[in-house]
């Protein structure tokens, strides 16, 4: 079966590929020449049906045919493109290339070496006889060799392309259901033997060590590459290496150490053999033709290469560019001249041997212009022995060579190369398969990992003193605790640090400042930032701040560019003399010593008084500005800040929001405010789910039951009927009082009509025509006067000593009798007695019962006559109100007047015009005059009052299940509206359940003082989806003014004052940063004695001695190690 990778066995995948190869080989195809440059321009390809029919195919046709067949079986094919050629490959395991189009042949070679991929020549099936699969594999593997890799264009991984969305083209051809006779007779190739399972690659899963020793050993193995991929152990002849023919390697090393410039030339170009026979020349002259020329060239400071001129030029340019790029990225020279090689074999009987360089001399290649020759010069660094080789020989061959791990043998010019190579020859003399050859080559090598490996091996205990390294070694599986100090909150820096504690050369934000302060305090942290976020600026500030507190700084970076940027910033601010460059072109002995001399001569302290003064000014302004910022961003009890509230209010200044209010701006904590916001959002969402009808607003019930709904609908029916009956009774009553019927009236009109009807009903049986009297306004006062006069008359009559005839009282001449009585009283006895008796007899004539007493009765009679006159003169005497002089029933008159007053008030119906009012008076006058209870008007009034009472009862009956009384005061036609509403409610019975749910949410919102928001939502002023944002806006509009008023900083804020404070702060901050470098210089002043004042045998004396030498004799590492106490003072910052 064509099962692809399902078996998981690479042998199965190989056999599937071999079967496909055999089958296609059996098609007896013929080769067709492809068009030129098809790999870049493209070409038409033949489909499988055309290939099998025409028996013709180009290399691209066969490659795509194989790829299609391999993919159809579930395998992952790879199409290989060369200049003018194509081939195919297939993965033995379920893998792909890293890229869909891979231009690097090395990736293909690595897959071949690990036996994960096989490649083969597809045109081999067109040969006669067809090429075997093994031969086809060998043919393409040769094309991928390093020597022919220039013809390689790219490898296209089909599976990776499919993952990227590239799909096959449709064939639009019918499926073949039978095999033709010719195809049936074709004979396929026999299948090859499957490769051995043991030879197939197995992915090894690395097990992480769990002990400190295991972790150190793992690091050492990763740092020290002891495989054949390492050029220090297996030096191949490739484009990255340049071989030379050097007849005297010792002389070459001496010339380089002496500073000579060695010109690099091509031996075939400078000394072409032409038709000369080198063997015959050796036999005749006794010396080698090429070696003789090379020896003479070396004396002329020329080093010949065995490469031709074009190859040499190309490789030198590649090396030149690579070395320059390596230096730009890593800050270290990687170009070395390999002097002497150890040729070795894995086993003595092996045919293949390998070469490992012995002495590596640091060099640099230069040329004056693009057309000039390259020259080779010594680089200011130490020649070194291949320490990697020593570790390899010790591990794999148990050959220890300690004599090469220390000081190398030297002569007057430097390393004694002949002696060094002689010692190596002696060391391997008895080791089979090893020999030392005097060969020379130029290439690039990197020793950074080796130096780390060496430190890890030799200085493990010293490295453990660092807490980060100690954590990585001993406890990497747990979180790193560092020095136990947490990183300072960047928002709290100004609370904990004075400006003088922040020594910053460059502008920095709060996060960068926090990093600088944390570094100065010795905290452990990691800064992560994308490009352009100010990392180099922050590092420069960190270095300055650390130096200002007496710390020393080592700045290490993977890229030289990062070091250059930071150093440039430090140099621009006057700290360049105190920063030691060990990463640039100055990282040689001479420049190293020059930098130390400059630092030595620059250790002068600076007065710090000005620094303190300007920092105090900065502190004052900073605290002033911070007070405003703190007030603006202070979190209040409700979780809001004035800044946030202002932002919300200003952003939505044109948006509508309900007016909300609470007793105090501190009425809510943050949880309560968020709960209110959540309620507002829920209210909006709930309202969205309700089908809104205005009639539903008549209901305010939170729980639905079927019984409740029945009661509500019954009440709605009753109220609807009552409204209709009331409208009919209203019209009848209006007609009875002379007005036009209109079927409805406003609430005020209904109330006025109800009062008029009640007044008419109450006036039945009375003549209240007095209501139309023009003097009606005076009648109430006249009644009071009448009532008082009658009362006085009756009281005087009661107080008389005898009962007088009522009719005679009016005729008594009281004044004459009083005069006679006074005359008698003033006369002498017996005249006085006789006169009084006469008067008494006169009054006695008016008495009907009892004895008259003139002295007592005359005054009362006068008062009675006066009150009678008052009664008879009262204006009520001529009115149709039941006036009967002294016998008038004032209580009845009072009742009539009260009825009249009530009627006069109720007859003034609202909105009644002049003509209508006249009609009203004319219609009501007869009934008011007659007082007939069965009049049409009073019948209509009674019917209207009964309908109105039934209507009110129906409203009450409806309000009980509805939860609220229907509100209809705002309507001009409430009866019509209410009748319609009740009808609509009966039609909306299916919405009642959802509405009661909304009422529950609404009531909850109202209970939390969000009634205004609910009203706006129901009125359509706030969209339900925006309820939350509307609440937020309404809340800040309520909360913000009170909050601003309560804070004096915000209340007294003035823009011009604030802007002036900011401008002043910036100016002072610029002054502080300008003084920061002087503050750092003062802090790192070393206080060392002058250059000429140190003893020769001291640390500084050794340094001065090396400075005085024309060519320093000690390496940089040696010099640093020889000054354990002074070096940190001279170089407080190393890059």
Measured over the CA atoms of residue 996, residue 998, residue 1001 and residue 1004, the dihedral's sign is negative
pLDDT tens per residue, range 734-766: 777 777 777 777 777 777 778 777 767 766 767
Higher pLDDT, 330 or 1065: 1065
Instruction: Kindly report whether the peptide bond that precedes residue 298 is cis, defined as omega within 30 degrees of 0.
Output: no
Spatial CA neighbour of 1132 closest among 603, 484, 557: 603
Is the pLDDT at 931 greater than 70? The verdict is no
pLDDT, residue 925, reads 65
Confidence category of residue 1120, pLDDT binned at 50, 70, 90: confident
Rounded percentage of the chain residues whose pLDDT exceeds 90:
3
Confidence category of residue 202, pLDDT binned at 50, 70, 90: very low
Confidence category of residue 39, pLDDT binned at 50, 70, 90: low
The pTM (predicted TM-score) of the whole model is 0.52
Higher pLDDT, 798 or 778: 798
Residues 41, 856: Cα–Cα separation, whole Å: 154
**Taking the CB of residue 995, how many other CB atoms lie within 10 A of it?**
22
* β-bridge mates for residue 364, sequence order: 377
Average pLDDT over residues 439-456: 75
For residue 12, give the H/E element and its range. helix 10-25
Q: Out of 298-302, 435-439, 597-601, 626-630, which region has the weakest mean confidence (pLDDT)? A: 597-601
**Taking the CB of residue 331, how many other CB atoms lie within 10 A of it?**
24
Residues 711, 989: Cα–Cα separation, whole Å: 12
Residues 747, 754: Cα–Cα separation, whole Å: 10
Residues 72, 59: Cα–Cα separation, whole Å: 20
Residues near 132 by beta carbon (within 8 Å), at least 6 away in sequence: 124, 189, 192
Tokens describing residue 663:
């007793």
Spatial CA neighbour of 817 closest among 835, 829, 794, 834: 835
pLDDT tens per residue, range 284-337: 555 566 777 888 888 888 888 888 888 888 888 888 888 787 776 666 778 889
Q: Confirm if 361 and 439 have CB atoms less than 8 A apart.
A: no
**Taking the CB of residue 982, how many other CB atoms lie within 10 A of it?**
26
pLDDT, residue 2, reads 79
Instruction: Kindly tell me the burial class for residue 222, based on how many C-beta atoms sit within 10 Å of its own C-beta (0-12, 13-18, 19 or more).
Output: exposed
Tokens describing residue 753:
């009509």
Spatial CA neighbour of 24 closest among 94, 127, 112, 174: 127
pLDDT tens per residue, range 975-1030: 777 787 788 778 878 877 887 787 888 888 888 888 888 888 888 888 888 888 98
Q: How far apart are the first and last CA of the chain?
A: 65
Backbone angles phi, psi at 599, to 5 degrees: -65, -40
pLDDT, residue 928, reads 66
pLDDT, residue 155, reads 92
Residue 246, CA distances (Å) to 236, 368, 931 in order: 18, 24, 152
pLDDT, residue 185, reads 46
Spatial CA neighbour of 548 closest among 589, 511, 582, 497: 497
Q: Enumerate the domain spans of the chain.
A: 10-199, 232-444, 482-551+604-631+1053-1083, 634-693+988-1051, 701-765+906-979, 774-878
Backbone angles phi, psi at 16, to 5 degrees: -60, -45
**Taking the CB of residue 1058, how many other CB atoms lie within 10 A of it?**
13
Rg (CA), the chain: 61
H helical segments located in 845-934:
854-873, 890-907, 914-930
Residue 1075, CA distances (Å) to 223, 613, 964, 1071 in order: 45, 11, 78, 6
Spatial CA neighbour of 302 closest among 361, 357, 248: 248
Q: Confirm if 27 and 183 have CB atoms less than 8 A apart.
A: yes
Is the pLDDT at 193 greater than 70? The verdict is no
pLDDT, residue 21, reads 92
pLDDT tens per residue, range 427-436: 887 788 888 8
**Taking the CB of residue 472, how many other CB atoms lie within 10 A of it?**
17
SS (H, E, C) 951-983: HHHHHHHHHHHHCCCCCCCCCCCHHHHHHHHHH
Q: Confirm if 982 and 660 have CB atoms less than 8 A apart.
A: no
Residues 1010, 1003: Cα–Cα separation, whole Å: 9
pLDDT, residue 882, reads 63
For residue 62, give the H/E element and its range. helix 59-72
pLDDT tens per residue, range 608-622: 677 778 877 877 887
pLDDT, residue 993, reads 83
pLDDT, residue 179, reads 47
Backbone angles phi, psi at 667, to 5 degrees: -70, -20
């Amino acid at each position: 079966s064509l099962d692809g990778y399902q078996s998981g066995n690479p042998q199965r995948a190989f056999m599937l590929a071999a079967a496909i190869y055999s089958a296609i080989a059996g098609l007896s195809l013929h080769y067709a020449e492809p068009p030129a440059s098809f790999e870049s321009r493209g070409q038409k390809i033949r489909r499988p049906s055309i290939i099998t029919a025409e028996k013709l195919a180009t290399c691209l046709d066969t490659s795509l045919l194989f790829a299609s067949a391999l993919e159809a079986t579930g395998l992952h094919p790879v199409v290989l493109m060369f200049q003018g050629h194509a081939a195919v490959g297939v993965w033995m395991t379920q893998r792909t290339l890293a890229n869909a189009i891979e231009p690097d042949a090395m990736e293909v070679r690595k897959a071949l070496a690990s036996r994960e991929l096989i490649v083969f020549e597809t045109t081999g099936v067109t040969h006669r006889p067809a090429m075997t699969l093994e031969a086809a594999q060998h043919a393409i593997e040769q094309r991928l060799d390093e020597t022919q890799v220039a013809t390689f264009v790219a490898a296209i991984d089909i599976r990776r392309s499919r993952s990227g969305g590239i799909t096959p083209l449709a064939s639009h051809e019918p499926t073949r259901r039978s095999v033709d006779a010719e195809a049936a007779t074709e004979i396929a190739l026999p299948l090859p033997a499957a490769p051995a399972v043991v030879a197939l690659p197995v992915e090894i899963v690395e097990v992480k060590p769990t002990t400190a020793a295991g972790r150190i050993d793992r690091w050492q193995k990763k740092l020290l590459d002891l495989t054949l991929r390492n050029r220090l152990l297996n030096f191949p002849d490739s484009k990255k290496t340049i071989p030379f023919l050097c007849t005297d390697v010792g002389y070459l090393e001496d010339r380089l150490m002496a500073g000579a410039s060695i010109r690099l030339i091509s031996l075939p170009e400078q000394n072409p053999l032409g038709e000369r026979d080198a063997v015959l020349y050796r036999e005749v002259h006794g010396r080698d033709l090429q070696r003789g020329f090379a020896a003479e060239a070396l004396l002329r400071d020329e080093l010949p290469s065995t490469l031709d001129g074009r190859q040499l030029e190309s490789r030198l340019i590649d090396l030149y560019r690579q070395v320059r790029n390596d230096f730009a990225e890593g800050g270290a020279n990687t170009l070395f001249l390999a002097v002497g090689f150890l040729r070795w074999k894995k086993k003595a009987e092996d045919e293949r041997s390998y070469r490992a360089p012995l002495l590596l001399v640091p060099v640099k290649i230069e040329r004056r212009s693009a057309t000039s020759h390259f020259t080779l010069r010594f680089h200011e660094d130490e020649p070194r022995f291949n320490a990697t080789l020593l570790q390899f020989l010790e591990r794999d061959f148990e050959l220890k060579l300690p004599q090469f791990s220390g000081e190398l043998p030297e002569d007057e010019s430097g390393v004694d190369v002949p002696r060094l190579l002689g010692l190596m020859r002696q060391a391997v003399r008895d080791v089979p398969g090893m020999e030392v050859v005097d060969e020379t080559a130029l290439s690039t090598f990197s020793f950074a990992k080796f130096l780390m490996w060496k430190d890890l091996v030799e200085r493990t205990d010293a490295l453990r003193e660092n807490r980060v390294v100690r954590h990585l070694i001993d406890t990497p599986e747990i979180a790193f605790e560092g020095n136990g100090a947490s990183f300072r909150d960047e928002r709290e820096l100004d609370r904990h640090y004075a400006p003088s504690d922040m020594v910053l050369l460059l502008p920095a934000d709060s996060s960068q400042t926090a990093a600088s302060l944390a570094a100065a305090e010795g905290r452990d942290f990691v800064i992560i930032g994308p490009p352009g976020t100010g990392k180099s600026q922050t590092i420069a500030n960190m270095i300055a701040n650390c130096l200002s507190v007496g710390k020393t700084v080592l700045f290490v970076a993977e890229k030289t560019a990062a070091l250059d940027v930071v150093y440039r910033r430090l140099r621009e601010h006057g700290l360049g003399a105190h920063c030691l460059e060990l990463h640039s072109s100055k990282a040689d002995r001479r420049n190293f010593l020059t930098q130390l001399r400059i630092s030595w001569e620059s250790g002068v302290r600076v007065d710090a008084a000005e620094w303190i003064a300007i920092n105090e000014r900065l502190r004052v302004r900073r605290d002033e500005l911070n007070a405003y910022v703190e007030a603006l961003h202070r979190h209040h009890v409700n979780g809001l800040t004035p800044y946030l509230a202002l932002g919300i209010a200003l952003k939505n200044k044109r948006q509508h929001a309900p007016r909300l209010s609470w007793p105090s701006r501190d009425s809510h904590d943050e949880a309560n405010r968020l709960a209110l916001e959540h309620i507002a959002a829920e209210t909006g969402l709930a309202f969205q789910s309700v089908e809104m009808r205005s009639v539903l607003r008549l209901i305010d019930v939170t729980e639905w039951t079927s019984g409740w709904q029945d009661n509500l609908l019954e009440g709605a029916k009753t109220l609807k009927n009552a409204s209709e009956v009331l409208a009919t009774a209203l019209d009848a009553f209006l007609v009875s009082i002379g007005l036009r019927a209109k079927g409805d009236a406003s609430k005020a009109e209904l109330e006025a009509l109800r009062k008029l009807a009640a007044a008419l009903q109450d006036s039945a049986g009375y003549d209240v025509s007095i209501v139309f009297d023009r003097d009606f306004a005076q009648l109430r006062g006249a009644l009071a006067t009448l009532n008082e006069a009658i009362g006085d008359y009756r009281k005087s009559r009661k107080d008389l000593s005898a009962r007088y005839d009522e009719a005679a009282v009016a005729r008594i001449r009281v004044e004459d009798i009083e005069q006679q009585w006074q005359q008698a009283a003033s006369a002498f006895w017996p005249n006085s007695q006789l006169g009084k008796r006469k008067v008494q007899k006169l009054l006695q004539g008016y008495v009907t019962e009892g004895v008259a007493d003139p002295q007592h009765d005359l005054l009362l009679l006068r008062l009675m006559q006066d009150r009678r006159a008052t009664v008879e003169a009262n204006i009520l005497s001529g009115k149709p109100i039941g006036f009967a002089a002294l016998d008038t029933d004032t209580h009845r008159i009072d009742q009539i007047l009260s009825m009249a007053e009530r009627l006069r008030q109720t007859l003034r119906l609202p909105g009644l015009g002049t003509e209508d009012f006249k009609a009203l008076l004319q219609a009501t006058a007869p009934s008011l005059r007659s007082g007939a209870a069965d009049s049409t008007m009073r019948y209509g009034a009674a019917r209207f009052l009964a309908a109105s009472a039934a209507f009110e009862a129906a409203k009450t009956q409806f309000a009980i299940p509805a939860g609220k009384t229907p509100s209809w005061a705002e309507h001009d036609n409430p009866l019509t509206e209410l009748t319609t509403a009740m009808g609509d409610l009966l039609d909306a019975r299916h919405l009642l359940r959802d509405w009661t749910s909304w009422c529950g949410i609404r009531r909850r919102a109202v209970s939390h003082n969000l009634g205004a928001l609910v009203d706006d939502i129901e009125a359509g002023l706030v969209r339900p989806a925006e309820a939350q944002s509307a609440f937020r806006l309404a809340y800040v509009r309520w909360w913000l003014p009170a909050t601003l008023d309560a804070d004096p900083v915000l209340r007294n804020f003035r823009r011009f004052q604030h802007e002036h404070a900011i401008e002043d702060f910036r100016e002072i901050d610029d002054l502080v940063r300008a003084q920061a470098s002087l503050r750092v210089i003062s802090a790192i002043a070393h206080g060392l004695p002058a250059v000429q004042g140190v003893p020769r045998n001291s640390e500084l004396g050794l340094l001065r001695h090396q400075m005085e030498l024309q060519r320093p004799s000690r390496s940089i590492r040696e010099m640093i190690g020889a000054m354990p106490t002074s070096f940190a003072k001279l170089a407080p910052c190393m890059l």
